[in-house]
Amino acid sequence: MVIHMNDELLRDASVQDIQLELIRRHRYNEFDGQRVYDFLMKHRELWRGVIMDRLGFVAKEESGANWGLIKLRDLPRNIWNVDTLIVMTDSIEAAHRLARLIDEADLGGEKAVVEPPEKSCAALGVYPCDAGLVSVWWD
């Protein structure tokens, strides 16, 4: 059961609950965290896990830190610099259903993308896998 952080102590919250609370609090441009959170809770039976991230890799040279650390850069200013919602489902069929619902809900992001099964397995580091992955990017 997912509940708002003000309803329980942070130390007792699951990692998923914390991630959902970050999503709920987040707001920028067309991304309305409360609206996305409400949508996710309404369709809770369709997903296994959800995160929000800023995917990127910066490689200007062969050595040194080659990661995109914009999220880390902005933490001291209390900014959670993320732009991509990633949802894991139990199956590719559930992923397609969820993607359709996301697009119909018009949550302000780009069109929902369902990853092909082989890419989902690679991204999750599990072979074989039954999970589906849906992503939505906000500008």
| Residue extents of the structural domains in the chain | 29-137
Residue-by-residue DSSP string for 23-88: HHH-EETTEEHHHHHHHHHHTGGG-SEEEEE---B--SSSSS--B--HHHHHGGGT-----EEEEE
Structure confidence by residue, pLDDT tens digits, 13-71: 999 999 999 999 999 999 999 999 999 999 999 999 999 999 876 666 665 566 778 89
In this structure, how many other beta carbons lie within 10 angstroms of the beta carbon of residue 135? 20
Instruction: Give the number of residues written for the chain.
Output: 139
**Distance, CA of 87 to CA of 7 (rounded, Å):** 24
Tokens coding 14:
């699951």
Q: What is the pLDDT of residue 17?
A: 96
**Distance, CA of 136 to CA of 118 (rounded, Å):** 19
Phi, psi dihedrals of residue 123, rounded to the nearest 5°:
-65, -35
Q: What is the pLDDT of residue 19?
A: 97
pLDDT of residue 3 exceeding 60 = no
Q: What is the pLDDT of residue 4?
A: 56
pLDDT of residue 2 exceeding 60 = no
pTM of the model: 0.87
Structure confidence by residue, pLDDT tens digits, 78-99: 999 999 999 999 999 999 999 9
Q: What is the pLDDT of residue 56?
A: 73
Q: Which amino acid is at 105?
A: A
Structure confidence by residue, pLDDT tens digits, 85-134: 999 999 999 999 999 999 999 999 999 999 999 999 999 999 999 999 99
**Distance, CA of 85 to CA of 37 (rounded, Å):** 11
